[in-house]
Amino acid sequence: MKFHPFFFTLLFSVVLTAQEHSHKSTGAIIFPDIPGYTTLKTDLHQHTVFSDGNVWPTIRVMEALRDNLDVISLTEHLEYQPHLKDIPHPDRNRSFELALQEAKNHDLIIVHGSEITRSAPIGHSNAIFISDANELLEEDAEDSFATAKKQGAFVFWNHPAWYPQNPNGNPNLSNFQKDRIKNGELHGIEVINTGDYAAESFALALENNLTIMGTSDVHDLIDWDYTEKGHSRPITLVFAKERSEAALKEALFAGRTVAVFNSLMVGKEEHLTPLLKACITVEEATYIDNTSILKVTLKNVSSTDLLFENQMPYTFYSSSPVFTVPAGGTKIIQIKTLEKLDAIELKLKALEAYVAPKKHPIIQWPIIVDND
């Protein structure tokens, strides 16, 4: 059977296009919805060659699709353009426009953002949901923040514990940040940036009612900076009323977030507790033969390992009180209830989750025992 050369050309084109736009990954980031809200997986601090990153904006879209994210923002430095000699771009909106074009046929929300970059004590901050990045390029940083507010931006403080600006590794809440908070010009703070979790930044978030953020701040490939090192990118889980940019914005201003890096989760108790509860489902609860040992099978529906410690009055049989339910997997625990019960309250402390510095949440699941 003979085939016309045009057929091979067409077939090759179709296959190549499918490969280029599938963006599949076995390491997709997955988290469940919580009661009343849709869980949006976001990375709202990234860079490309249009500031000090090393990839084209379309790559950021492809990475996000592969990682199963819902939302990204390319927050290029307004004042810092080291590639200017090779990539002249007087329009600070260009990176956003290219990403938006790449994402138009995909289910990914691109939020318009920029990074306001100054030396300490002002530091770095991201303004997202902006309408025109060029207008934020002001000589006075106070004017940049005021302009961001006029555009309806949500603004968060980037890596406040970053040692080049704070040599002791702790954030410094200066009068500049205090005034921005007072003026309604600063709304969030990164508690996780790249691989760094700053408990002191988390404390500032709680003390000043700032939205808790986690971001990759990626400059190279996600693969190079995270995947090849055995990590998932840091993200912010946002609990929105629906999957839309407007709902995302409302949720961020309302502070309904959890910051995540690998198995580390950081957030307010009212958001983190229902998330952890939703991550674990009870698949089976039955007694072993003629014993009072209850076998419970737990399933982790998220993409991150979850580490727990038993907090029940009952102890475990043939198992440590500290155990991991692997990402996407199951774990069987055996509980010595001493007598056969019809129901039990599973009570576990989440050891890699924080609702305040050094404070872990305790999660409870009601379990109905199958005694048939």
Q: Taking a C-beta distance cutoff of 8 angstroms, is the pair 225, 45 a contact?
A: no
Angle at alpha carbon of residue 58, lines to 56 and 61, rounded to 5°:
125
Q: Taking a C-beta distance cutoff of 8 angstroms, is the pair 139, 101 a contact?
A: no
Rounded Cα–Cα distance for residues 284 and 332 (Å): 9
Amino acid, single-letter form, for residue 231: H
pTM of the model: 0.92
Q: Taking a C-beta distance cutoff of 8 angstroms, is the pair 99, 74 a contact?
A: yes
Low-confidence ranges of the chain (pLDDT < 50): 1-20
CA dihedral over 355, 356, 357, 362, signed as positive or negative: negative
Sheet holding 280-287, edge to edge: 280-287, 293-300, 330-336
Rounded Cα–Cα distance for residues 144 and 116 (Å): 7
Q: Taking a C-beta distance cutoff of 8 angstroms, is the pair 6, 277 a contact?
A: no
Taking only Cα atoms into account, the Rg of the chain, rounded to an integer number of angstroms, comes to 24
Rounded Cα–Cα distance for residues 71 and 183 (Å): 27
What are 16's two structure tokens?
A: 């190549």
Q: Taking a C-beta distance cutoff of 8 angstroms, is the pair 234, 197 a contact?
A: no
Q: Taking a C-beta distance cutoff of 8 angstroms, is the pair 293, 335 a contact?
A: yes
Angle at alpha carbon of residue 204, lines to 353 and 276, rounded to 5°:
20
Q: Taking a C-beta distance cutoff of 8 angstroms, is the pair 74, 96 a contact?
A: yes
Angle at alpha carbon of residue 40, lines to 39 and 42, rounded to 5°:
145
pLDDT of 52 reads: 95
286 HSE (CA, 13 A, CB side): 8
Beta-bridge partner residues of 115: 77, 126
Q: Domains in the chain, start-ordered, CATH in brackets?
A: 38-267 (3.20.20.140), 279-368 (2.60.40)
Amino acid, single-letter form, for residue 15: V
* Residue 124: closest CA among 183, 176, 89: 176
pLDDT of 88 reads: 80
